[in-house]
Amino acid sequence: MGHIVNHHRDYRLLQERFDRHITGAPASPIFTKILELLFTPDEARLVRRFPTIPTRTSKLAEKLGVDEDQLNDTIQDLAHRGLVVDIERKGRRYVALPPVVIGFFEYTFMRTRPEAPMAEIAQLFETYMFENDRFSRAVFEGQTQVGRSMPREESLPSGDHIEILDYDRASYVVKNASAHAVSLCACRHKAEHLGKACDHDQSNCLSFGSAAEVLIHNGLAKSISVSESMGLLEQSKEAGLAQTGDNVQNDLSYICNCCGCCCGMMEAIKTFDMNNAIVSSSWIAEFDESTCTGCGKCESACPVDAIDMVRYEQDGRKRQRAVVDEAVCLGCGVCPTYCGTGAARMKARPQRIYTPESSFDKYAAMAIERGKLSDLIFNDYDTFTHRTFGRMLSVLEKTSPVKALMAIEPLKSTFLNRLVHRGGR
């Protein structure tokens, strides 16, 4: 009797482990069912002890008290199913437990899996993500997000005093990436299994650099050339898709080519009024009243329904014109490419939108905003070096005193309290 295994407890603890990620995973019977379909009880029991920062498997095997070769075999199987991140660097193997998004949701749908009950998994994810706003609130609360809108370069104004930074240029990101990969768009693939896929191409989700190498290594994406990557980018623009990229300045890991009908982040914006689910670019759409004919093409093209046609009367004639909701506009630059009169154009926002320099800066800022700084530090304390701690302090010093104090309160640290109060003076 003492050897009875409580599988429900294993899945509950795994859910709690995912919820400690910066983007979170609220408890739900639906999410538990997803975990039961994707992980065996033994896998759930093992994976809930995995770190969220890449850690050497030799070190993890020692910590867990298991055979390293057997652990590596298990990791390889889990990675090919998209459930963990498996990385090889200089002959050493590393593993990490990804969040739900961007993480094992995308990895699950990034390629076809005829052996898995994909229709059932798709329906469960759809219910979990959009039956109510709990999941979206967990993922998208705060100002710093995983993704940002990348403006179409061809829609931006030109001139000697117009500054367009390299990290805002999708073409620059593609041409300067060290590696390129393409996979299925997870959102459109999920929609296909729900019987509501749109007509847009699915094979156009781009990954770059080390992220591309990891996805290729795990069989989740296909290696492509720079020219192929550029071709997919241009084809996606011609199809009216908006570009959503990694919310960092350096070493972007992905660019998604998004449609408003399937994209989960855009759906959160439209369903739950979470306008910050995708961080806007530093540009915004505007319309010239004198040349706008009210044709409605821009309204139809906008992926987040930020444009409305407003009726008015002029010289005794009823007319309509386009008006943009600046709180919703992503600054993606799609609408000017559909405007036949040139009335739609892009202008710089009054203040440039903040973009973190690196992935570390992004996740540190997200952890501070979401009150999960202690999870970021202590869940992976073995990999938290003096250097990374120093980088985290740098992010903390740039944060408003109120948010910083809320972030460090669970840590009960006199040193961090002094740091925050010094920064607030």
pLDDT in tens, 190-217: 999 999 989 999 999 999 999 999 999 9
Q: Is residue 171 part of a domain?
A: yes
Q: Does residue 96 register a pLDDT over 60?
A: yes
Query: What is the structure's pLDDT at 388?
Result: 55
Q: Does residue 392 register a pLDDT over 70?
A: no
Residue after which a domain boundary falls, among 316, 338, 353: 353
Same structural domain, 406 and 278: no
Residue after which a domain boundary falls, among 317, 332, 353: 353
Same structural domain, 337 and 369: no
Q: Is residue 167 part of a domain?
A: yes
Same structural domain, 147 and 295: yes
Same structural domain, 345 and 367: no
Same structural domain, 208 and 107: yes
pLDDT tens readout for residues 44-81: 999 999 988 889 999 999 999 999 999 999 999 999 99
Residue after which a domain boundary falls, among 325, 353, 381: 353
Q: Is residue 33 part of a domain?
A: no
Q: What is the 3-state secondary structure (H, E, C) of the chain?
A: CCCCCCHHHHHHHHHHHHHCCCCCCCCCHHHHHHHHHHCCHHHHHHHCCCCCCCEEHHHHHHHHCCCHHHHHHHHHHHHHCCCCEEEEECCEEEEECCCHHHHHHHHHHCCCCCCCCHHHHHHHHHHHHHCCCHHHHHHHCCCCCCEEEECCHHHCCCCCCCCCCHHHCHHHHHHHCCCEEEECCHHHHHHHHCCCCCCCCCCCEEEEHHHHHHHHHCCCCEECCHHHHHHHHHHHHHCCCEEEEECCCCCCCEEEEECCCCCHHHHHHHHHCCCCCCECCCEEEEECCCCCCCCCHHHHHCCCCCEEEEEEEECCEEEEEEEECCCCCCCCCCHHHHCCCCCEEEEECCCCCCCCCCHHHHHHHHHHHCCCHHHHHHCCHHHCCHHHHHHHHHHHHCCCHHHHHHHHHHHCCHHHHHHHHHHHC
Tally of domains in the chain: 2
Same structural domain, 167 and 208: yes
Q: Is residue 79 part of a domain?
A: no
Query: What is the structure's pLDDT at 315?
Result: 79
Q: Is residue 134 part of a domain?
A: yes
Q: Is residue 250 part of a domain?
A: yes
Please state the rounded mean pLDDT for residues 74-96.
Answer: 93
Q: Is residue 24 part of a domain?
A: no
Q: Is residue 164 part of a domain?
A: yes
pLDDT tens readout for residues 314-360: 778 888 999 999 999 999 999 999 999 999 999 999 999 999 999 98
Q: Which domain holds residue 417?
A: 359-424
Same structural domain, 364 and 307: no
Same structural domain, 202 and 256: yes
